[in-house]
Amino acid sequence: MKKITSLLAIGFASLGIQSASAALISLYEFNNSTTDSVRGGAGAASVYGTTTYTAGVSGNAFRFDGSTYLTAPLAGAGLSAYTISAWLKFNTQTNWATILKNWGSTAPGAFHFGLNDNDFKISNYLGTTMGSPGVLSGTLTTGAWYNAAVTFGPSNTQKLYINGVQVDSGAASGTILNNYGTMSMGAKLNNAQDGVGGPPGWLDGWLDDVTFFDEELSASAISSLYAAGLSGNGVSTLGYAGYVGSAAVPEPGQVAASLLLLGGIGGYVFLKRRKAAKTAVPVAA
């Protein structure tokens, strides 16, 4: 039985079936495109303003000039848990600078991820039916790349990470608000989600590998996201379940070989059972 279990594990692994429980449901790599690498055209971001790309931590990054912003369908509407991770570099400090937000001018949404009001700190305000608890990082600087991530889920604790290290946390409970079906990068939207809100939350800087998970990632997973960026390989190399890029799609030859292996396993199990049936000794009544 142990041999069969081991063979099955090899077969499923060779098919590229991911063991990771977290689902990456949106990824903006910004390699000369605003297409969502996971959802494709269904999640592509619309650009309002100037489209400019520059060298990022993995391939290229999108340049936000303080008047450009992107909008996209909210990944995983009706969330009960989520993780956001992004690489960012600031050119100047701007109040409430938007990394990724699902919020309105006055009515809260699911999350408000970016710089804080009038200080140079990363913050996230989680919109829940029990209120909007926030978490806040230490002071940042211009001209340097940072990885910022926020998580929330079954732990009922919102956690904020900078460069793979947890810098703040706060208790949170209640249902995540689902007031808007749109999320934005570079600026906060208004309540109607058809333009920039107030305060606008302009971002003057760069974003790269903006990722959205429908799970609360662990500290080790956040550390892996940071390490992947440092190596220049990007998120797609980590093979999270749900990702449909090259890291998670097996080659046709690999599929054929895997199916052949699984077929051989099935035949092996059948022959073992048949042999056992033939050699079994009847039990006396």
Cα separation, 69 vs 203, whole angstroms: 8
Tokens matching residue 107: 């009515």
Question: Which residues, listed in sequence order, are joined to residue 208 by a DSSP beta bridge?
Answer: 87
* Residue appearing with tokens 């052949």: 260
Confidence of residue 241 (pLDDT cuts 50, 70, 90): low
pLDDT given for residue 14 in this prediction: 36
pLDDT score of 12 more than 80: no
Cα separation, 107 vs 129, whole angstroms: 12
Amino acid identity, position 141: T
What is the pLDDT averaged over residues 20-34?
86
pLDDT given for residue 238 in this prediction: 81
Question: Which of the two residues, 263 and 59, has the higher pLDDT score?
Answer: 59
Is the CB of residue 149 less than 8 Å from the CB of residue 163? no
Q: Which of 10-19, 108-117, 206-215 has the lowest mean pLDDT?
A: 10-19
Question: Which of the two residues, 271 and 81, has the higher pLDDT score?
Answer: 81
pLDDT score of 220 more than 70: yes
Tokens matching residue 40: 């494709």
What is the pLDDT averaged over residues 262-278?
43
- Angle CA 89–144–243, to nearest 5: 50
Is the CB of residue 75 less than 8 Å from the CB of residue 43? yes
Tell me: the pLDDT tens digits for 161-188?
999 999 999 999 999 999 999 999 999 9
**Which of these CATH numbers, 3.10.129.10, 3.90.1170.50, 3.40.640.10, 2.60.120.200, describes 22-238?**
2.60.120.200
pLDDT given for residue 243 in this prediction: 56
Residue 151, CB-side half-sphere exposure with 13 Å CA sphere = 24
Question: Which of the two residues, 90 and 254, has the higher pLDDT score?
Answer: 90
pLDDT given for residue 22 in this prediction: 67
Amino acid identity, position 146: Y
pLDDT score of 262 more than 70: no
pLDDT given for residue 271 in this prediction: 40
Q: Which of 28-32, 75-79, 192-196 has the lowest mean pLDDT?
A: 75-79
pLDDT score of 107 more than 60: yes
pTM of the model: 0.78
pLDDT score of 264 more than 90: no
Cα–chain-centroid distance for residue 283?
A: 59
Confidence of residue 255 (pLDDT cuts 50, 70, 90): very low
If one counts every other C-beta atom within 10 angstroms of the C-beta of residue 279, the result is 7
N-term to C-term CA, the chain:
30
Cα separation, 149 vs 158, whole angstroms: 11
Domain locations along the chain: 2-10+251-279, 22-238
Is the CB of residue 149 less than 8 Å from the CB of residue 161? yes
Confidence of residue 240 (pLDDT cuts 50, 70, 90): confident
Confidence of residue 84 (pLDDT cuts 50, 70, 90): very high
If one counts every other C-beta atom within 10 angstroms of the C-beta of residue 46, the result is 12
| Residue among 205, 186, 229 nearest 63 (CA) | 205
Cα separation, 161 vs 167, whole angstroms: 5
| Residue among 184, 242, 225 nearest 23 (CA) | 242
